[in-house]
Structure 1
Amino acid sequence: MRVLVNERGAARLLGRHLWVFRRDVLSGPEEAGLFPVYWGKRFLAWALYNPQSDLTVRAFRFRPTADPVEALLENLDRALKKRLPHLEADPEGGYRLVHAEGDLLPGLVVDTYAGHGVVQVTARALEPLLPRIAQALRPHLKSLLARNDARLRGLEGLPLEVRPLFGRVPEHVVVQEGRVRYGVDLYAGQKTGAFLDQRENRLYMERFTGERALDVFSYHGSFALHLALGFKEVVAVDSSEEALKQAQENARLNGLHPRIRTLRANAFDFLREEEKAGNSYDLIVLDPPAFAKKKGDLERAYRAYKEVNLRALKLLKTGGILATASCSHHLTEPLFYQMLQEAAQDAHRLLDLLHRGGQGFDHPVLLNVPETQYLKFAVFEIVG
């Protein structure tokens, strides 16, 4: 059995994009699985296939193979080998072992927190292979939890569930990140428990010192912890009471609770109120959620990103530092910097770019698949 695509679908695969949408699939099997994809008689790729999903074809190999399951497991082995030296050097750290399309493993994410793994499968064709995947991961992990509760599973016709796959999975683990530690709820935390893609950016922020810093959209206070190593006072702002409780616990865990103050508030309202009150900061971190989750959200999201950055710029002293991020793929890097330029112009501030960052090495980017590059991170000094 094979999947046939039209010329437009073939062009995407020949250009080494991994996705073909339903509108460009001419025919295929009735069930989900691993199937070869053809344009006429020309072989294009082996792919995960699901006729129920709008994202019908997700390629993982562009060469013929007699055993597609083994080819998929080869991709998994290659992804693990890239990370294992870091795991061995930093066994109590948090890392992404598998980054879906970035590792030619569409629909599969695996993270490790101090040696305890969390896996998410969001492709129907991968579901039967989860035992084989777990077996391949077993030598490298103390335990493995399936966090198959992501909304994307519904789009694939998959049930939502959370269950241990092997080992004794703790509800809560402590992860070492540079000079700080933070707690992770494996069963109920956001994503797989925490946000690992900002790890290098959080570590970068340890170089700054001063009196007052502000961490907006702080979640568990991950940036705030690193900032509190060099600032006398750090305010962590988030709209989630549960997230701030974990932030407070993280502060106590590091002996930094005298320096970190948590505040539950809407970020936009808080920044406006701080401006009205005439307050100022030496450094502000903005790490908002993905305002543009789909292309139709982009215009509204652009305004939201600009608003929050403009407000932050007005609160910073001359010589102050703005660290700002976007995890919205649809807000491309050129648009991200255009938005920041407009915010700076409207705030009448002159910015010197100190650092340009993005997602960590364990969240690889495929040049031919722009969707794999989503995180933008920039640090500026206010020079006028």
Structure 2
Amino acid sequence: MTCKFYLLKGKGKNAENGHLWIYSTEIAEFEGEYENGDIVEIYNYREEFIGKGYINDASKITLRIMTRDINEEIDEEFFRKRLRAAWEYRKTVTDTSSCRFLFGEADFVPGLIIDKFEDYFVIQSLALGIDKYKDIVVKLLVEEYGAKGVYERSDAKVRILEGMEQVKGFLTEPFDTMVQITENGVKYYVDIENGQKTGFFLDQKDNRASIHKLCNGKDVLDCFTHTGSFALNAGVAGAKSVLGVDISQHAVDFCRRNAELNGLQDTVKFECHNAFDVLREWSDEGRKYDVVILDPPAFTKSRETIKSATRGYKEINLRGMKLVKKGGYFITCSCSHFMNPDLFRETIASAAKDAKVTLRQVEFRTQAPDHPILWNSDESYYLKFYIFQVA
């Protein structure tokens, strides 16, 4: 018999309205027996069916809904349909040579990320309930989507909060994990074994393309360059000079390899610096650039650290603005869900006031469409991207 969970009166409204998470504090009781990772049925306090999903009582997010159909089984056919729907959507909205193939909750498979890099796929399982189905997912990727290899990058820290170990490794026969991709006319080496997250940040694909029109013939500074993606897009777009900065010497060395791959090593240079320190130093020296790009890591991954993160965002934006020539362009973004759009806008405005510059907004963008934003799940909306002219 399937175990049934019942929610407290006044709780579960978000789940009834489309959200896929139910917290431990929303649960009143359950009937039957379960093991963590099992599929259970979920009902509100009036005993009305809400959905079926997997259970993990070691996590604050105790239940994650997989289907609203009480008769739908969570089996190979379920994953076949979900993957097919995700793939058909991506073929409609983006270049699929390399893309996020499946985006967890936003593709109605909570806890599962799949990134596609040419013919190689990277899986990230962020919840116990998904771990049980990895073999099915790998089988489908190989048989129906021509995967030459599948690698697991379930080494995210969030797994510890789920009571799970961080794991990584091959899910098919081993292959060379240094994969070459092309995006927006730029070639990259992607290290899917040791790179951050799944090896490459695909969510900025269209935002990288949007800077091309600004960079032709310009002097460009790209801070927190990581794999050099914005810097290389500026170079491909015809920039006069590009300097990419990152705190990691390993990242800088990797960026230089990517520059050579594109024949841009004479135009696009990379240096190892702490951006917070060096931007202040260069500002005091009076350095100026036509285009300054800030793409920092998430300064906050929890509500508790919002205040310190806001100070960090303000500081780095203020320093970046001061390095832009009058009439030049300032590009800034935040990839933290907790730095909400209003707060990010206020932080940029405060930085501009202190920098004594006037910003003229050119564009506001979010993440690429292969990272869809599910309105019932605001966690899926995290990337904010601005282009300003500095007056």
Task: Please give the TM-score of this superposition, normalised by the length of structure 1.
Answer: 0.95
Residue 80 (structure 1) aligns with = 87
Residue 57 (structure 2) aligns with = 51
Offset of residue 101 of structure 1: 0.9
Residue 283 (structure 1) aligns with = 291
Residue 19 (structure 1) aligns with = 21
Residue 163 (structure 1) aligns with = 169
Secondary structure of 1:137's match?
A: helix
Counterpart of 2:225 (choices 218, 222, 226) is 218
Distance in 2 between residues matched to 1:355 and 1:58, nearest whole Å: 36
Instruction: In structure 1, give the amino acid aligned to 2:40.
Output: F
Q: 1:66 to 1:311 in 2, by over 3 A?
A: closer
Residue 35 (structure 1) aligns with = 40
Report which stretch shifted further, 360-369 or 139-148. Answer: 139-148
1:123 equivalent in alignment to 2:123: no
Counterpart of 1:136 (choices 137, 140, 150) is 140
1:325 equivalent in alignment to 2:333: yes
Offset of residue 176 of structure 1: 0.1
Q: Contact conserved, 1:31 with 1:51, CA < 8 A, in 2?
A: no
Offset of residue 85 of structure 1: 5.7
Q: 1:76 to 1:4 in 2, by over 3 A?
A: farther
Instruction: In structure 2, give the amino acid aligned to 1:38.
Output: Y
Distance in 1 between residues matched to 2:96 and 2:26, nearest whole Å: 45
Counterpart of 2:6 (choices 1, 4, 7) is 4
Instruction: In structure 1, give the amino acid aligned to 2:8.
Output: N
Instruction: In structure 1, give the amino acid aligned to 2:294.
Output: L
Distance in 2 between residues matched to 1:72 and 1:173, nearest whole Å: 26
Unpaired segments of 5 or more residues in structure 1? Answer: none
Instruction: In structure 2, give the amino acid aligned to 1:110.
Output: I
Distance in 1 between residues matched to 2:371 and 2:229, nearest whole Å: 18
Offset of residue 167 of structure 1: 4.9
Q: Contact conserved, 1:224 with 1:260, CA < 8 A, in 2?
A: yes
Offset of residue 86 of structure 1: 7.0
Q: Contact conserved, 2:306 with 2:338, CA < 8 A, in 1?
A: yes
Q: Contact conserved, 1:58 with 1:106, CA < 8 A, in 2?
A: yes
Q: Contact conserved, 1:302 with 1:339, CA < 8 A, in 2?
A: yes
Residue 96 (structure 1) aligns with = 100
Secondary structure of 1:268's match?
A: helix
Distance in 1 between residues matched to 2:249 and 2:284, nearest whole Å: 25
Q: Contact conserved, 2:93 with 2:369, CA < 8 A, in 1?
A: no
Residue 302 (structure 1) aligns with = 310
Instruction: In structure 1, give the amino acid aligned to 2:234.
Output: L
Output one character per residue of 1:238-287: Cα deviation in whole Å (capped at 9) or x when no partner: 11111111100000000101112211111110110001111111001100
Output one character per residue of 1:307-361: Cα deviation in whole Å (capped at 9) or x when no partner: 1111111111111101110011111111111111111111111111111111010
Q: Contact conserved, 2:79 with 2:137, CA < 8 A, in 1?
A: no
Task: Please give the TM-score of this superposition, normalised by the length of structure 2.
Answer: 0.93
Q: Contact conserved, 2:90 with 2:96, CA < 8 A, in 1?
A: no
Residue 105 (structure 1) aligns with = 109
1:189 equivalent in alignment to 2:195: yes
Q: Contact conserved, 1:210 with 1:282, CA < 8 A, in 2?
A: no
Q: Contact conserved, 1:65 with 1:71, CA < 8 A, in 2?
A: no
Distance in 2 between residues matched to 1:380 and 1:306, nearest whole Å: 16
Offset of residue 8 of structure 1: 4.0
Secondary structure of 2:387's match?
A: strand
Report which stretch shifted further, 149-158 or 263-272. Answer: 149-158
Distance in 2 between residues matched to 1:286 and 1:239, nearest whole Å: 13
Offset of residue 84 of structure 1: 4.0
Distance in 2 between residues matched to 1:161 and 1:133, nearest whole Å: 17
Report which stretch shifted further, 69-78 or 54-63. Answer: 69-78
Residue 386 (structure 2) aligns with = 378
Q: 1:368 to 1:192 in 2, by over 3 A?
A: same
Q: Aligned residues: percent identity?
A: 33
Instruction: In structure 1, give the amino acid aligned to 2:355.
Output: A
Instruction: In structure 1, give the amino acid aligned to 2:386.
Output: A
Instruction: In structure 1, give the amino acid aligned to 2:23.
Output: F
Offset of residue 302 of structure 1: 0.9
Unpaired segments of 5 or more residues in structure 2? Answer: none
Matched length: 380
Offset of residue 150 of structure 1: 1.6
Offset of residue 22 of structure 1: 1.0
Distance in 1 between residues matched to 2:314 and 2:101, nearest whole Å: 34
Offset of residue 125 of structure 1: 1.0
Counterpart of 1:292 (choices 294, 300, 311) is 300
Report which stretch shifted further, 206-215 or 66-75. Answer: 66-75
Q: Contact conserved, 1:76 with 1:105, CA < 8 A, in 2?
A: no
Offset of residue 68 of structure 1: 2.9
Counterpart of 1:146 (choices 152, 177, 190) is 152
Offset of residue 72 of structure 1: 4.8
Residue 177 (structure 1) aligns with = 183
Q: Contact conserved, 1:239 with 1:267, CA < 8 A, in 2?
A: yes
Offset of residue 128 of structure 1: 1.3
Secondary structure of 2:132's match?
A: helix
Offset of residue 10 of structure 1: 2.1
- Give me the CA root mean square deviation: 1.6
Offset of residue 30 of structure 1: 4.3
